[in-house]
Amino acid sequence: MKDINGESTVDSIDSGVNRRNFLKVGATAAAATAVAGVTSVGMAESATAASYNPKKFAGSTVKILLVDGERDQNGIKDKVADIQKTLGIKVEVTALALGAQLEKIQSVLHAPTSEYDIIDNLGFTVSGVVGGGLYTKLNTYIDNKELTAAKYNYPADFPAGQLDYTSRYDVANNKFGGKDVYLIPGMHSGSVIMFYRKDLLAAAGIPVPKNWEDYIDAARKLNVGAVSGTSMIGGNDVSLILVDWYARFASMGGKLMSGTPGAKNYKPNLTGATAVRSVQHLIDCAEVSPKGVGSFGFTESVDAFSRGEVALMLCWSTIAGSAFNPATSKVASKIGAAQIPGDANTSGRPIRGGWGLGIPKNLPQKRKDAAWMVMQYITSADFDKYQFDNYQTDPNRRGTYADAALNKKYPYLKVAGQAMENAKMLDVALIPETFELVGEAAREFNLAIIGSQTAKQACANAQASWEKILKRAGHLA
Amino acid sequence: MSKTTKSESFLLRHETKTLLGPAMIYLALFSVFPLLYSLGISFFEFDRVAGKWNFLGLGNYKEILSDKVFWSSILITALMVGIALLVEVIAGVSLAIFFGQKLKGSKIVRAILITPMILNPVVVGLMWRALLNPQWGLFNWFIGLIGVDNPPIWLADPKWTLWTLIFVDVWQWTPFIFVVVFARYQALPTDVFESARVDGASPLKVIRYITLPLVSSAVVFAAIFRGIDSFRTFDLVYGLTFGGPGRSTTTLSFYSFENGFVYYRYGFSSALSYIMVIMATIGFAVLLKWIPVRKSH
């Protein structure tokens, strides 16, 4: 299915992209960017096109709300002076821990006037905030040559799946995709990939695991001495579901939901064989994971991997990319990255992550206009490359994923790009209760990982919790 | 009559209103209004997509009373308050009596002892998470030195998490009981103790029959203050266990926070908070009635 811009919509995101297609698309985007003459982060140099005037809203102040702990704010802070020089706009950045940021977003979007001009929104919350009609439609800005630089290259330089997740939304029908743009993908996108120790696999004569049986076999063989075979986000943490469980479940061919919320028959499939098998796989992996994995968030898992104590690990590429940085990893030169394992008849299907930057609806027009100028800057092709090169957060643009110099420097970039093109949106992301559902499942599966209940019990309990929540919210009769 | 005299006369006639007015306005704005507002929203549910409040009547209250997690949270909160408070009172009073002996160097030790109390509970939670890390935490290393080779995974094993939470709470708040009781102990008249010694009372008898009765009002004050604080413990749970694993450390306050600020169920969260207010009011009223605060005087 194609939309007004000729881009694929949600229906085709899940169809998967092979490596050749990905490279072709990436190379085309890179070429388009090069033709556009992008040479520096500042946009002033290309201001000659049309009547675009980057300093049209000079003298304004733009306040940005981001999440903390994911290195998103670092690049902007570096470029505050350049933004002032290029756009004449003063930028102030606030970065809050995820929970606090989500709370803050709710309060500012429902206030008479928003405190922030640009807000970064987690993909899993888009249906709640954008679906609630709380953000400004950006189409008029994007189509306006006076307000948008010719080289901005939206939507061509952004992965289609990401556009239909953290950019375009059909508010009237409360559906992802469509032709209305409310967010621009940023500050980072991302999906889940597999990180492994090349040296340990080679020494043991084990190939990179291609399916989940191979994965657990390899983990058991590599679980020797001070090195654990694998690690995971095993704690009572939403990423246990989003990263480790969903990667297994979707790759094993699991279908999380049946029915639709609108028809009030939206029912989870958590008691099926695939769900139980995927939780059992987590339990098996926990046995060859570092001690205390049942309390691990992604930080603990990545830290253990970076210390050289883990052989295999799945993680958000945007989080664990730092394992390739010699300044923060003891094993930077010994690791490789690959797509997550699949099953006999299915390829690995990681979850789609990422964020989208939006301009709150409850702002005066002048503030919205100034915010758009800054938003272009921080989602520009050059800024995307700068942020990735310096802080290894997953890029938002195809041109960055396909950049030859960056790929040479960060070998996992290509893998991360393929994973993102191939990623699958979490089925329940289309209802506002996403976090509540994911939280309940995380609690039950965590208990299974630490041995307090079986995989079957955990799945049955999660199913019951989900049905209760869905019934209360009116999605299940 | 001059203008000044007139205004003075007005102030005298309305003395009570004038003096109480600012405090009443403050209370009305920052205490009564939020209380009434949150009581109001406890009868509603917020629809985030539609951006409107739906009236539920007593729906949130009914849901809470039939919610298993609510009842398990009551049990966890009761265990936490009861056990932690008991240990804190015993340890705090013992420390107060011990440091009352004016031992050499006690001033320095006292200052170190009260440090945990001045730390933010979220920071305490995060600090203990690091100390209890099963791989590189100092706590396990330390108990390894004294022969414990295979310590439990304190924050990932539901058999241990509540005890770990209570332990950290005791570590942080025993100094509070100590400070309050110690202040009272220092202010006691010395002649009573001298008379007891002259009469040949043993140190234990002095503590049992003189010290404890005389400091009991301070103990009760500190215990009630601490009990209320412990009843609404949230920040330590947030920083240390986030209510898990499972629901093993989900206290009432944390459950209210989780519903209000993670799941945006503002109405449910408000109703839960109101139930907590009612429970605390009844609980501590009964406690005050039964504890003989003034008998010692």
* Secondary structure string (H, E, C) spanning A270-318: CCCHHHHHHHHHHHHHHHCCCCCHHHCCHHHHHHHHHCCCEEEEEEEHH
For position A389, what pLDDT does the model report?
92
| Binary contact (B244, A446; C-beta < 8 A) | yes
Q: d(Cα A55, Cα A38) in Å, to the nearest integer?
A: 19
Closest-CA residue of chain B to A111:
B51
Pick among B242, B247, B248, B259 to test the A interface (most A CBs inside 10 A): B242
Pick among B41, B45, B48 to test the A interface (most A CBs inside 10 A): B48
Check whether residue B133 and residue B10 sit in a common domain: no
For position B11, what pLDDT does the model report?
77
For position B4, what pLDDT does the model report?
63
Residue B79 lies in a domain: yes
Is the pLDDT at B296 greater than 60? The verdict is no
Closest-CA residue of chain A to B243:
A236
Is the pLDDT at A6 greater than 70? The verdict is no
Rounded mean pLDDT, B280-292: 80
Report the number of distinct structural domains present in chain B: 2
Looking at CA atoms only, how far is residue B24 from chain A in angstroms? 28
Residue B47 lies in a domain: no
CB-nearest partner of A435 from B49, B242, B262: B262
Q: Which positions in chain B touch A292 (Cβ < 8 Å)?
A: 133-135, 153, 155-156
Check whether residue B31 and residue B79 sit in a common domain: no
Confidence category of residue A12, pLDDT binned at 50, 70, 90: very low
For position A48, what pLDDT does the model report?
47
Residue B96 lies in a domain: yes
Query: Is A245 in contact with A437 (CB distance < 8 Å)?
Result: no
Considering A39-53, A191-205, B116-130, the range whose residues carry the highest mean pLDDT is A191-205
For position A164, what pLDDT does the model report?
93
Check whether residue B34 and residue B124 sit in a common domain: no
Rounded mean pLDDT, A257-286: 96
Check whether residue B32 and residue B71 sit in a common domain: no
How many Cβ atoms sit within 10 Å of the Cβ of residue A303? 22
Q: Which positions in chain A touch B247 (Cβ < 8 Å)?
A: 443
For position B244, what pLDDT does the model report?
85
Check whether residue B88 and residue B191 sit in a common domain: yes
Count CA within 13 A, CB hemisphere, residue A62.
32
Is the pLDDT at A32 greater than 70? The verdict is no
Rounded mean pLDDT, A11-29: 40
For position B119, what pLDDT does the model report?
92
Is the pLDDT at A2 greater than 50? The verdict is no
* A interface residues, B as partner, C-beta within 8 Å: 99, 102-103, 106, 110, 127-128, 131-134, 174, 234-237, 290-295, 300, 304, 309, 432-433, 435-436, 439, 443-444, 446-447, 450, 452, 472
> Where are any strands of DSSP class E within A299-445?
310-316, 335-338, 355-358
pLDDT one-digit tens code per residue, A61-114: 999 999 998 889 999 999 999 999 999 999 999 999 888 898 899 889 989 999
The candidate with the shortest Cα–Cα distance to A139, out of A4, A11, A2, is A4
For position A31, what pLDDT does the model report?
47
- Full-model pTM: 0.82
For position B5, what pLDDT does the model report?
74
| Binary contact (A439, B156; C-beta < 8 A) | no
Check whether residue B28 and residue B123 sit in a common domain: no
Q: d(Cα B219, Cα B153) in Å, to the nearest integer?
A: 35
Rounded mean pLDDT, A326-355: 90
Rounded mean pLDDT, A449-455: 95
| Binary contact (B262, A447; C-beta < 8 A) | no
DSSP of B168-184? HHHHHHHHHHHHHHHHH
CB-nearest partner of A128 from B49, B157, B244: B49
| Binary contact (A433, B263; C-beta < 8 A) | yes
| Binary contact (A103, B261; C-beta < 8 A) | yes
**For chain A, what percent of residues have pLDDT higher than 90?**
72
For position A259, what pLDDT does the model report?
94
For position B294, what pLDDT does the model report?
54
* B interface residues, A as partner, C-beta within 8 Å: 48-51, 63, 133-135, 153, 155-158, 242-247, 258, 261-264
Which whole-number Å values give the CA distances from A410 to A78, A194, A405, A406, in the listed order? 21, 15, 9, 6
Q: Which positions in chain A touch B135 (Cβ < 8 Å)?
A: 290-292, 304, 309
CB pairs under 8 A between A and B: 85
CB-nearest partner of B153 from A106, A110, A292: A292
What CATH number is given to the structural domain containing B171?
Answer: 1.10.3720.10
Q: Which positions in chain B touch A133 (Cβ < 8 Å)?
A: 51
Residue B46 lies in a domain: no
Rounded mean pLDDT, A191-199: 96
Torsion of CA A48, A396, A430, A70, to 10 degrees: -120
For position B111, what pLDDT does the model report?
86
More confidently predicted of A442 and A7: A442
pLDDT one-digit tens code per residue, B79-107: 999 999 999 999 999 999 998 887 787 78
Residue B166 lies in a domain: yes
Looking at CA atoms only, how far is residue B262 from chain A in angstroms? 7
pLDDT one-digit tens code per residue, B177-229: 999 999 999 889 888 888 988 888 888 899 999 999 999 989 988 998 899 99
CB-nearest partner of A439 from B133, B157, B262: B262
Residue B48 lies in a domain: no
Pick among A176, A233, A295, A310 to test the B interface (most B CBs inside 10 A): A295
Q: Which positions in chain B touch A227 (Cβ < 8 Å)?
A: none
Is the pLDDT at A17 greater than 60? The verdict is no
Check whether residue B120 and residue B8 sit in a common domain: no
| Binary contact (B158, A132; C-beta < 8 A) | no
For position B297, what pLDDT does the model report?
44
Closest-CA residue of chain A to B245:
A236
CB-nearest partner of A443 from B48, B134, B244: B244
Check whether residue B33 and residue B64 sit in a common domain: no
Looking at CA atoms only, how far is residue B114 from chain A in angstroms? 30
Check whether residue B133 and residue B12 sit in a common domain: no
Q: Which positions in chain B touch A289 (Cβ < 8 Å)?
A: none
| Binary contact (B135, A443; C-beta < 8 A) | no
Plot region of A59 (φ>0 → left; ψ -120 to 50 → alpha; else → beta): left
Rounded mean pLDDT, A328-355: 90
Q: Which positions in chain A touch B165 (Cβ < 8 Å)?
A: none
Closest-CA residue of chain B to A443:
B246
pLDDT one-digit tens code per residue, A286-325: 999 999 899 898 889 999 999 999 999 999 998 898 888 8
Residue B76 lies in a domain: yes
Closest-CA residue of chain A to B159:
A452
Q: Which positions in chain B touch A237 (Cβ < 8 Å)?
A: 242
Residue B216 lies in a domain: yes
For position B293, what pLDDT does the model report?
57
Which domains does chain A show, CATH number per domain?
A: 12-189+352-401 (3.40.190.10), 192-351+427-472 (3.40.190.10)
Check whether residue B32 and residue B154 sit in a common domain: no
Check whether residue B164 and residue B19 sit in a common domain: no
Is the pLDDT at A14 greater than 60? The verdict is no
The per-residue pLDDT of chain B, averaged, comes to 89
Check whether residue B17 and residue B93 sit in a common domain: no
Give the structural domain span for B10. 3-41
Query: Is A2 in contact with A8 (CB distance < 8 Å)?
Result: yes
| Omega cis (within 30) before A209 | no
Helix (H, G, I), strand (E, B) or coil at A205: coil
Q: Which positions in chain B touch A447 (Cβ < 8 Å)?
A: 158, 245-246
CB-nearest partner of A292 from B133, B243, B247: B133
The per-residue pLDDT of chain A, averaged, comes to 88
For position A99, what pLDDT does the model report?
82
Q: Which positions in chain A touch B254 (Cβ < 8 Å)?
A: none
Looking at CA atoms only, how far is residue B171 from chain A in angstroms? 22
Q: d(Cα A216, Cα B166) in Å, to the nearest integer?
A: 38
Helix (H, G, I), strand (E, B) or coil at A63: strand
